[in-house]
């Protein structure tokens, strides 16, 4: 039986052209700056994000921790959403590794933080207070339904940051999904930010890696911190080669994932036993509430799994489905059929 795996876009396998590219990659010692393939990926990524420089890192988590530590010193404070991936899913690394104090504000359903609340959270100079250094945004916002956050809001946050001498970091694990959904260039979307990290290994289907982008000075610092964290890799061009294919071949097709997410969301909306607001699905993520009596999300997921459909339980009554490169519109039809059966 063919498995339709909708748990995450991280399950994507490298494409045939990636396998070819990584087998043939020209490599060198990247810690010496001598891996031409890594250098090429970093140059391409910086260009794509409209930033001066870029750094290839092992994961989205590493992109975030090197960015936080490049902007903040120990004891400094960052303002961040309480539903953010950094706060929720990264082992408290901000505090544990960076010594950075997270000041959480409630994420709104659209993934934003209210501007007035950001302003109110910025610390005045006082010997009792930590120093506020950084505002962190997430785009698209994973736990807020994969919501893309628009340029206007990004600029509003930048204006607050500038007025108070703060930096802005964007956790843009899925920044290209945001740009495509909003119909804007990713450069314009992250122009208000000082730094941005994005994942190659999610919807872009590379086997490993993320890229951090920012000014030359920022990336120099990020490179030192990556080394401190043990993230200095040697012939990493083997991995970067796949990332280059991601940038060249895998971005525009994300629109297909968004279309499939729409099909799925509107199909699920018709089923009793489920509750979903399909008009809120804007990218490749579909969160659905299980309202079926006596069937928690784990039980429903288990039932579907025996039918070859994998969804991710993300709460007692919540399932997540993420569309990606290996999921076709026909697959969505199959998923809807099996879901309808499982609920009956």
Ligand X SMILES: *Cc1c(COP(=O)(O)O)cnc(C)c1O
**Sites for ligand X among residues 97-156 (CB under 6 A):** 138, 142
The footprint of ligand X on this chain (CB under 6 A) covers a number of residues equal to 12
Q: Smallest distance from the beta carbon of 304 to ligand X, in angstroms?
A: 23
Residue 186's contacts (CB-CB under 8 Å, 6 or more residues apart) are: 48, 49, 50, 172, 175, 176, 178, 179
Candidate segments 39-47, 53-61, 75-83, 224-232, binder of ligand X by CB under 6 A: 53-61
Can residue 208 be called a binding residue for ligand X (CB under 6 A)? no
In the list 171, 194, 257, 331, the residue contacting ligand X (rule: CB under 6 A) is 171
Q: Does 284 bind ligand X (CB under 6 A)?
A: no
**CB-wise, 64 or 132, nearer to ligand X?**
64
Distance between start and end Cα atoms, the chain: 22
CB 205 within 8 Å of CB 251: no
At 137, which helix (H) or strand (E)?
strand 132-138
**173 touching ligand X, by CB under 6 A:** yes
60 lines the binding site for ligand X (CB under 6 A) = yes
CB 29 → ligand X: shortest distance, Å? 24
Please report whether residue 9 would count as binding ligand X according to CB under 6 A: no
What is the torsional sign of CA 158, 70, 208, 246? positive
Contacts of 122 (CB under 8 A, 6+ apart): 79, 132, 160, 164, 166
What is the pattern of x (binds ligand X, CB under 6 A) and - over residues 78-97?
Answer: -------x------------
Own/partner contacts of 225-229, CB < 8 Å, gap of 24 or more, are 225/65, 225/66, 225/69, 225/70, 226/55, 226/57, 226/62, 226/66, 227/31, 229/62, 229/65, 229/66, 229/97
Contact 107, 139 (CB under 8 A): no
Residue 179 makes contact with ligand X by CB under 6 A: no
253: three-class secondary structure by DSSP:
coil
Q: Closer CB to ligand X, residue 65 or residue 72?
A: 65
Of 37, 59, 177, 323, the one binding ligand X by CB under 6 A: 59
Which of residues 59 and 70 has its CB atom nearest to ligand X in the complex? 59
Binding site for ligand X (CB under 6 A): 59-61, 64, 85, 138, 142, 171, 173, 199, 201, 210
């Amino acid at each position: 039986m063919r498995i339709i795996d909708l748990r995450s876009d991280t399950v994507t396998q490298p494409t045939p052209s990636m396998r070819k590219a990584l087998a043939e990659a020209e490599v060198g010692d990247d810690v010496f700056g001598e891996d031409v393939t890594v250098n090429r990926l970093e140059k391409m990524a910086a260009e794509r994000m409209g930033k001066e420089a870029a750094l290839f890192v092992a994961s989205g988590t590493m992109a975030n921790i090197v960015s936080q530590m490049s902007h903040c010193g120990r004891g400094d404070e960052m303002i961040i959403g309480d539903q953010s991936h950094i706060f929720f899913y990264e082992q408290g690394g901000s505090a544990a590794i960076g010594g950075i104090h997270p000041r959480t504000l409630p994420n709104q359903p659209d993934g934003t933080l209210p501007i007035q609340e950001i302003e109110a959270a910025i610390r005045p100079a006082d010997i009792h207070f930590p120093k506020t250094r950084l505002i962190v945004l997430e785009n698209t916002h994973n736990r807020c339904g994969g919501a893309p956050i628009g340029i206007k809001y990004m600029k509003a946050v930048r204006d607050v940051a500038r007025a108070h001498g703060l930096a802005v970091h964007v956790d843009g694990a899925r920044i290209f999904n945001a740009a495509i959904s909003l119909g804007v260039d990713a450069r314009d979307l992250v122009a208000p930010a000082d730094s941005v990290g994005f994942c190659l290994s999610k919807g872009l289907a590379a086997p490993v890696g993320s890229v951090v982008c920012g000014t030359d000075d920022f990336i120099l610092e990020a490179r030192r911190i990556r080394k401190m964290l043990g993230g200095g890799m040697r012939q990493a061009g083997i991995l970067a080669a796949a990332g280059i294919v991601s940038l060249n071949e895998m971005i525009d097709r994300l629109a297909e994932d968004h279309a499939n997410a729409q099909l799925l969301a509107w199909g699920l909306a018709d089923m009793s036993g489920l509750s979903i607001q399909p008009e809120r699905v804007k990218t490749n993520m579909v969160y659905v509430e299980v309202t079926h009596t006596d069937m928690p999300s784990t039980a429903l997921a288990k039932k579907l799994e025996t039918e070859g459909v994998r969804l991710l339980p993300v709460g007692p009554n919540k399932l997540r489905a993420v569309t990606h490169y290996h999921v076709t519109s026909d697959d969505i039809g199959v998923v809807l059929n099996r879901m309808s059966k499982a609920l009956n």
